[in-house]
């Protein structure tokens, strides 16, 4: 059965009157007050209806409370046990979730229920719905200006051990033997005792971590041979081949080894490290984890946020830098593939940017042109490449159509042609000028029979034009704001613990990372609201404006009372009298 509390229904009496004014003010100024006032009723509880029935089963936990607990758990970086305790005893959680009763049904939730609903939300991507809902609401409440945004990625790790190549083979074999013994004991007995003793016990398995570097090649050949023998032994057993652990062994064999078959049999050789793909298996306990040559094993999270270009410190405190987009990817994915999905996602939710700041990995020409087609200006450095001491296209002068007008030595081309079929420019320079130029040895120009030629594509010209702009003061002035996203990533980890998660698997990692980003938005918004309130209290004009509505209401009621319209300054007794009359 479904339980959903209507938090829009007004209370006749304030259920939080038992709190002292100072304690209640602290709750109102912090994240519980903001969540209770603006976000609690926005949680997508209706999305949970398909998983419950109105006419069957025990009453569910109150769905607003359930989603709130799952969100707070990730925002505060808590395990299931601590999350249950916080819901049971923490008054901040009670205030945020508007829990006014003391029953176990309201303030207690079992760890199993948390686990079950976390699985449901993960499988149906409802974590993304929660993030979008919270971010969109905060953007409206705080009137966030989304014109300027910046994007970057952060490397995160799941709850898995870092393994070398020997460890990957041995752990994969160990996992297969454990599952085979559990589900197919008769087939397990057919395996040689020596191989079982080598991999089945954790004590014997730990010996592989003590292998000397000089013996690692020999040991690697042994474990790879054992894995290949197991695959060959059970390849004709459909029940075994369907096991996930058997498929992992096949994957490791394909990624780590070369198998050559001839008339005499199969020859197994271990691949060189440089031949192994970055999306290869890193640990059998987390098959979705991949490898980044720059950051190592794990996953990565793409973060895009708004930013303000104001220099005033007080105004900065009152401006919300809102995370508008978050996406979890495998570590082997290149950052350049994340820009356009981020722009398109924010535009669908009416939070699209006009300018995006990014580092060099996002700044390819394809991304620049794609962003331009979406009316977005991508500000990012280009890959320099080549010889920095020589002359490149950025030293030439071009017109608005991409045609060369002048070389670094001041010579003008005789003719410039553009071929649409090859999308290339061909500029001809006088044969009598270039040989005597002092820059001819460093110039990209090429000699021909009748002229010297400069050949380049439209893409080369666009990159050259961007490199010229990158040295300007205007570019430096706007691009300096990109560094602020590093502070966001640091805060993302410090407050929510995103860089080292308690879970394994892509879906579970995605769930945690996205809800942690939603929690960070909540904590940041609370800090901004607190700064705005303190500023309004310090400013007499702002203080009057903040409370102008209550003052005008009191004034109106006093005028009505003095004019003989009745005692309307005491609405509660009047409402109570009406209730008595209707009851009578």
Query: pLDDT exceeding 90 applies to what percent of the chain?
Result: 57
Cα torsion 508, 509, 514, 517: sign: positive
**pLDDT confidence tier of residue 227, bands split at 50, 70 and 90:** very high
Position 550 scores a pLDDT of 44
Position 208 scores a pLDDT of 77
Secondary structure class of 153 (helix, strand, coil): strand
**pLDDT confidence tier of residue 248, bands split at 50, 70 and 90:** very high
- Weakest-pLDDT range from 53-62, 123-132, 367-376, 383-392: 383-392
What's the N-to-C CA distance of the chain in angstroms?
Answer: 36
For residue 468, what are the CA distances in angstroms to 168, 363, 398, 412, 478? 48, 15, 11, 19, 15
Question: Token pair of 80, please?
Answer: 């299931």
CA neighbor of 300 nearest in space, from 352, 337, 275: 337
Position 94 scores a pLDDT of 95
Inter-residue contact 4 to 64 (CB < 8 Å): yes
Residue 568 has pLDDT above 60, yes or no: no
**pLDDT confidence tier of residue 515, bands split at 50, 70 and 90:** very high
**pLDDT confidence tier of residue 481, bands split at 50, 70 and 90:** very high
CA neighbor of 495 nearest in space, from 530, 527, 521, 520: 520
Mean pLDDT of 72-80: 96
Inter-residue contact 44 to 67 (CB < 8 Å): yes
Question: Token pair of 193, please?
Answer: 């005792």
Contacts of 169 (CB under 8 A, 6+ apart): 220, 223, 224, 226, 227, 252, 256
Number of other residues whose CB lies within 10 A of the CB of residue 9: 6
Largest CA distance in the chain: 113
225: phi then psi, degrees, rounded to nearest 5: -65, -40
Higher pLDDT among residues 540 and 569, named by residue:
540
Q: What mean pLDDT, rounded, does the chain reach?
A: 87
How buried is 230 (Cβ within 10 angstroms: 0-12 exposed, 13-18 middle, 19+ buried)? buried
Residue 572 has pLDDT above 50, yes or no: no
Position 388 scores a pLDDT of 54
Question: Token pair of 353, please?
Answer: 């940017």
Inter-residue contact 59 to 1 (CB < 8 Å): yes
Mean pLDDT of 554-569: 52
For residue 101, what are the CA distances in angstroms to 16, 58, 59, 105, 569? 11, 20, 17, 9, 30
**pLDDT confidence tier of residue 563, bands split at 50, 70 and 90:** low
Residue 573 has pLDDT above 80, yes or no: no
**pLDDT confidence tier of residue 108, bands split at 50, 70 and 90:** very high
Residue 551 has pLDDT above 80, yes or no: no
Position 584 scores a pLDDT of 32
**pLDDT confidence tier of residue 559, bands split at 50, 70 and 90:** low
pLDDT in tens, 359-383: 999 999 999 999 999 999 999 999 8
Q: Which pTM does this prediction carry?
A: 0.85
pLDDT in tens, 403-462: 888 888 888 888 888 888 888 898 888 887 888 888 788 888 888 878 888 888 888 888
Give how far the C-alpha of residue 549 lies from the chain's centroid of Cα atoms, to the nearest Å.
Answer: 41
Position 543 scores a pLDDT of 44
Residue 27 has pLDDT above 90, yes or no: yes
Inter-residue contact 405 to 383 (CB < 8 Å): no
Query: pLDDT exceeding 70 applies to what percent of the chain?
Result: 91
Q: String of b and e for 368-386 (b: at least 16 CB within 10 Å)?
A: bebbeeeebebbbbbeeee
Q: Percent helix, strand, coil in the chain (nearest 5)?
A: 55, 15, 35
Extract the runs of DSSP E, i.e. beta strands, from 371-490: 377-379, 397-398, 404-406, 415-419, 424-430, 446-447, 451-457
Position 537 scores a pLDDT of 80
Mean pLDDT of 468-485: 92
- Weakest-pLDDT range from 205-214, 398-407, 480-489: 205-214
**pLDDT confidence tier of residue 546, bands split at 50, 70 and 90:** very low
């Amino acid at each position: 059965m479904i339980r959903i509390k209507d938090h829009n229904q007004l209370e006749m009496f304030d259920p939080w009157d038992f709190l002292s004014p100072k304690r209640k003010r602290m709750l109102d100024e912090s994240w519980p007050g903001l969540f209770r006032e603006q976000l609690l009723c926005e949680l997508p509880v209706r999305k949970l209806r398909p998983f419950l029935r109105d006419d069957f089963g025990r009453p569910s936990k109150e769905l607003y409370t359930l989603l709130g607990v799952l969100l707070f758990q990730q925002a505060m970086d808590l395990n299931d046990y601590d999350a249950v305790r916080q819901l049971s005893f923490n008054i901040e959680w009670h205030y945020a979730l508007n829990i006014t009763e003391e029953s176990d049904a309201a303030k207690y939730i079992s760890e199993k229920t948390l686990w079950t609903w976390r699985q449901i939300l993960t499988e149906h991507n409802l974590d993304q719905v929660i993030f979008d809902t919270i971010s969109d609401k905060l953007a409206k409440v705080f009137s966030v200006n989304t014109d300027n945004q910046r994007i970057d990625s952060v490397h995160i790790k799941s709850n898995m051990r870092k393994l070398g190549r020997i460890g990957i083979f041995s752990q994969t074999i160990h996992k297969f033997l454990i599952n085979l013994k559990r589900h197919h004991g008769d087939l397990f007995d057919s395996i040689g005792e020596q191989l079982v003793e080598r991999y089945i016990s954790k004590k014997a398995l730990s010996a592989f971590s003590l292998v000397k570097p000089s013996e690692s090649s020999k040991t690697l050949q042994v474990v790879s041979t054992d894995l290949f023998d197991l695959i060959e032994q059970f390849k004709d057993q459909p029940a075994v081949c369907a096991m996930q652990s058997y498929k992992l062994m096949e994957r490791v064999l394909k990624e780590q080894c070369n198998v050559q078959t001839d008339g005499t049999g199969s020859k197994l050789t271990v691949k060189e490290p440089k031949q192994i793909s970055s999306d290869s298996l890193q640990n059998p306990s987390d098959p979705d984890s991949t490898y980044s040559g720059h950051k190592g094993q794990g996953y990565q999270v793409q973060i895009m946020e708004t930013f303000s270009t104001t220099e005033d410190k007080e105004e900065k405190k009152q401006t919300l830098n809102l995370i508008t987009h978050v996406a979890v990817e495998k570590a082997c994915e290149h950052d350049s593939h994340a820009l356009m999905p981020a722009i398109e996602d924010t535009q669908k939710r009416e939070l699209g940017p006009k300018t995006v700041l990014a580092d060099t990995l996002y700044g390819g020409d394809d991304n620049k042109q794609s962003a331009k087609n979406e009316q977005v200006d991508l500000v990012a450095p280009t890959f320099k490449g080549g010889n920095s001491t020589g002359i490149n296209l950025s030293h030439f002068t071009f017109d608005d159509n991409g045609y060369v007008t002048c070389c670094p030595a001041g010579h003008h081309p005789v003719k410039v042609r553009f071929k649409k079929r090859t999308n290339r420019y061909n500029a001809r320079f006088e044969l009598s000028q270039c040989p005597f130029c002092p820059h001819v040895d460093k110039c990209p120009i090429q000699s021909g029979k009748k002229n010297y030629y400069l050949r380049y594509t439209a893409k080369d010209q666009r990159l050259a034009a961007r490199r010229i702009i990158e040295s300007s003061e205007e570019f430096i002035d706007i691009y300096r704001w990109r560094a602020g996203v590093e502070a966001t990533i640091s805060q993302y980890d410090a407050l929510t613990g995103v860089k080292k998660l308690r879970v394994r698997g892509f879906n579970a990692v995605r769930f945690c990372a996205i809800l942690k980003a939603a929690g960070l938005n909540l904590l940041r918004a609370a800090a901004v609201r607190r700064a705005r309130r303190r500023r309004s209290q310090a400013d007499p004009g702002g203080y009057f404006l903040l409370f102008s509505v209550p003052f005008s209401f009191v004034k109106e009621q006093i005028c009505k009372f003095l004019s003989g319209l009745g005692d309307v300054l005491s609405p509660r007794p009047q409402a109570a009298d009406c209730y008595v009359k209707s009851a009578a």
